[in-house]
Structure 1
Amino acid sequence: MNEIVMRLGLESWKPLLGALLLPPLPALLVVVLGGLLWRRRLGLALLGLGVAALWLEACTAVAEPAKRWLLQPPPALEAAALKGLASAGTAIIVLGGGREAFAPEYGTSSLGIYSLERLRYGLWLSRASGLGVGFSGGVGHAGMQGEAEATIAARLAAEEFRHPLRWVEDASRDTRENAARSVALLKPQGITTIVLVTHDWHMPRARRAFEQAGAAAGMALRVVPAPVGLAGDDSLPLLRWLPSGGGFTLMRWVVRERIGLLMGS
């Protein structure tokens, strides 16, 4: 499906096409349809179904199990495993997760919260292992103006974290391009193992993309998952069944990533 979108020249429409399938829009459409048919039993049933869906998809008590069942993300990278990775043929690669084209408080562009979390962990891994670290991220399919994510990440890594990046890939627009362009950058340097840093809900699709990119490049590429964002909701059990921004955001990511896996994107 992803290939069809590309061949039709609809790359810039990918964010919109994907958003149409994500919560809360499907449930809202069910509610609207139920409202139009409210005088019939079917309409009342649809109203109830839509409202229940809107409620449940915003609960962490539903979103967290959905993440485990639908995505099966890997566990945290253990310290012992990290120590065994130190070699000349290994690189840490951090995937971009969004940027702020202009952050007024800084007077310049900045990374979004997901990118910052990934960058911090990637640099932490680099310090702990001595491995070089790179960042992959452009401006996305929407083609927004401003600095690429990787350019911003390089600046923050050097100026604020005092740990410069070794590799910067700033032309990719999505996960598949993250993988293809990163592999093309690293292959000539003899890299055969990548410690991949991204959020746990994104890792299954990202890992697959890098393995496919390695195979396409004729490499026996080993991809070691190093997920972030593993901490769950520690609220009281009852509160986890109440709608929250955190639960809703997580469910959107879960649905988005599952659709991406099914579409091959």
Structure 2
Amino acid sequence: MNQLLNAAGITHWKPVLSMLLMPPVPFLLLALVAALFLLRSRSRRALVALFAGLLLTWGSLTVAMGEWLHDHGMPDIPAFSPQQVAQLRADVAAGRKVAIIALGAGRERLAPEYNQPSLRPLTMERLRYAIWLSRQTGAPLGYTGGIGHAAVPGPSEAEVARRIAQQEFGLTLRWAEDRSRDTRENGQLTVPLLRADGIEKVVIVTHDLHMPRALRAFREAAAAQGVPLEVVPAPAGISSLSDDRFTRWFPSDAGQLLNWYFWHEKLGWWAGA
């Protein structure tokens, strides 16, 4: 699908198509079709479809459904362990060429409280964790993210991330890839930067739900470019947002985020993005 959109020159339609395919829009359309059939025929099948659409819409807004989808529909990628942190620190001390790369998740064109562009909350989670890993291990840090397909013009994510890392965390990014528009391009455009510096091992920092696509993008880019690169996941997680046994079954902003993010990543994986 990703290749077809690229070939047709309509990659800017990707966000629109994604929104139409992701819950709760399909479920609401199912309920609407069922309601139209009920008005015309009063059929039992239409009634079942109506209730199914409404029930699925409710579920797609709950933490319980989002966590179930995560547990059953995504590979288990554990957190970067203390042992792995120690190993990465040892790699750096031994002179091995390693890198930490944080992947973008969007920017805010203007944060009024700062009177300048900023990064979205998910993006800041990734950058903050990547900075923490860099300081714990001494490994150099990079960021990959340009301006998304549907984003308005302005500074790239990498430009904003470079400024925030320097001004707020006192850390200078070694690499700032600022042309990529999606996960595939994150890998395709970052691997050459790592190859130029002789990097042998890269630690990928992104959210757990996004990690499968990120790993695929970097591994396939490295293989296509003939770069012998070890790609290691270091997920920042949003997999569990509530442990309340009662409210987790009711619609919430946390539930909507978890469900949206799951289907966003699944659709992206199936489309090859």
Could you give the per-residue CA deviations for residues 153-193 of structure 1, whole angstroms, max 9, x where no partner exists?
A: 00000001111111100110000000111101110110121
Mark the runs of 5 or more structure 1 residues left unpaired by the alignment.
none
Higher alpha-carbon deviation: 226-235 or 77-86: 226-235
Q: 1:191 aligns with which of 193, 199, 203?
A: 199
The DSSP-based 3-state class of the residue aligned with 1:77 is: coil
CA contact (8 A) 2:183 2:214 kept: yes
Name the CA distance, whole Å, in 1 between partners of 2:263 and 2:199.
33
C-alpha deviation, 1:134, in angstroms: 0.4
Q: Does 1:80 align with 2:83?
A: yes
Work out the CA distance in 2 between the residues paired with 1:71 and 1:175: 17
Identity %: 43
Alpha carbons 2:162, 2:176 under 8 Å: kept: yes
How far apart, in 1, do the equivalents of 2:208 and 2:243 lie?
Answer: 20
Q: C-alpha displacement at 1:82, in angstroms? A: 1.7
> What number of residue pairs does the alignment pair up?
265
What code does the residue aligned with 2:179 have? A
**Runs of 4 or more off by more than 6 Å in structure 1?**
none
The alpha-carbon deviation at position 233 of structure 1 amounts to 2.8
* Superposition RMSD in Å: 1.2
The answer for the alignment partner of 1:52 in structure 2 is: 55
Does the 8 Å CA contact 2:67/2:239 hold for their aligned counterparts? no
Aligned to 1:158: 166
Cross-structure match for 1:8: 8
List runs of 5+ in structure 2 lacking aligned partners. Answer: none
Cα distance change of structure 1 residues 231 and 56 upon mapping to structure 2, 3 Å threshold: closer
Which residue of the partner structure matches residue 261 of structure 2? 253
* C-alpha contact (below 8 Å) 1:73/1:204 kept by paired residues: no
Say yes or no: does 1:61 pair with 2:64: yes
Instruction: Name the structure 2 match of 1:180.
Output: 188
User: Is the 8 Å Cα contact of residues 183 and 214 (structure 1) preserved in structure 2?
Assistant: yes
Partner of 1:25: 25
Using the size of structure 2 for normalisation, the TM-score is 0.94
State the alpha-carbon separation in 2 of the partners of residues 256 and 233 from structure 1: 18
**Partner SS for 2:256:** helix
- Return the TM-score normalized by structure 1: 0.97
Q: What letter is aligned with 2:64? A: A
Name whichever of 175-184 and 56-65 sits farther off: 56-65
- Which position in structure 1 is the counterpart of 2:112? 104
